[in-house]
Structure 1
Amino acid sequence: MNFVFDIDGTLCFDGKTIELDIQEAIEQLIVAGHKVIFASARPIRDLRPVLPGKFHHFQLIGGNGAFTSFEGKIECVSFDEDTKIELYSFIEKYNCSYLADSDWDFAYTGEQGHPIYHHINQVDAKNIQLKELNNLSKLVLFNVEDSLLKELATLPVSITRYKSEDIYDISPHGINKVRGIHNFGIRDFIAFGNDQNDKCLFEQAIHSVCVGTQDVKKYASEVIYKEDVAKRIRNFLRQDIPCV
Structure 2
Amino acid sequence: MKFVFDLDGTICFKGQPLSKGITNALEACIENGHEIIFASARPIRDLLPVLPETMRKFPMVGGNGAFVAQNGETVEVTAFTGEIVEAIQNIMLAFQLPYLVDGDWDYAYTGSEAHPIHQNLDPLKLAKNVSLHELKDIVKIVLFPGEQHKEILAELQQLPISLYEHSAENIVDMSPNGIDKWNGLMKLGVAEGGFIAFGNDANDASMFVKAKESICVGEHKVRELASLQVPSDEVAVIDMLNTLNEKYK
Query: Structure 2 length as normaliser, TM-score?
Result: 0.93
Contact 1:61 1:67 in 2 (8 A): yes
Q: Deviations over 1:167-220 (max 9, x none)?
A: 000110011100010011111210001111111121111101111112211111
Cα offset, 1:150, TM superposition? 2.4
Tell me how far apart the structure 1 counterparts of residues 25 and 85 of structure 2 sit (CA, whole Å).
42
Counterpart for residue 182 of structure 2: 178
Tell me how far apart the structure 1 counterparts of residues 170 and 152 of structure 2 sit (CA, whole Å).
15
Residue identity opposite 1:164 in structure 2: A
CA RMSD of aligned residues (A): 1.2
Counterpart for residue 218 of structure 2: 212
Cα offset, 1:18, TM superposition? 1.0
Query: Structure 1 length as normaliser, TM-score?
Result: 0.95
Q: Where do residues 1-244 of structure 1 align in structure 2 (5 Å cutoff)?
A: 1-74=1-74, 75-122=76-123, 123-143=125-145, 144-187=148-191, 188-225=194-231, 226=233, 227-239=235-247, 241=248
Residue identity opposite 1:131 in structure 2: H
- The farther-off stretch of 136-145 and 172-181 is 136-145
Q: After the TM superposition, list the runs of 4 or more consecutive aligned residues in structure 1 that deviate by more than 4 angstroms.
A: none
How many corresponding residue pairs?
A: 241
Cα offset, 1:85, TM superposition? 1.5
Identity of aligned residues (%): 41
- The farther-off stretch of 193-202 and 42-51 is 193-202
Tell me how far apart the structure 1 counterparts of residues 43 and 245 of structure 2 sit (CA, whole Å).
30
Q: Deviations over 1:91-129 (max 9, x none)?
A: 112111100001111100111100000000151111101
Tell me how far apart the structure 1 counterparts of residues 68 and 35 of structure 2 sit (CA, whole Å).
16
Cα offset, 1:237, TM superposition? 2.8
- Equivalent position SS for 1:68: strand
Contact 1:192 1:209 in 2 (8 A): yes
- Equivalent position SS for 2:23: helix
Tell me how far apart the structure 2 counterparts of residues 145 and 232 of structure 1 sit (CA, whole Å).
36
Query: Which structure 1 segments of 5+ residues have no match?
Result: none
Tell me how far apart the structure 2 counterparts of residues 212 and 153 of structure 1 sit (CA, whole Å).
27
Q: Deviations over 1:30-84 (max 9, x none)?
A: 1111111000011101000001111111101111101111112112100011111
Tell me how far apart the structure 2 counterparts of residues 193 and 36 of structure 1 sit (CA, whole Å).
14
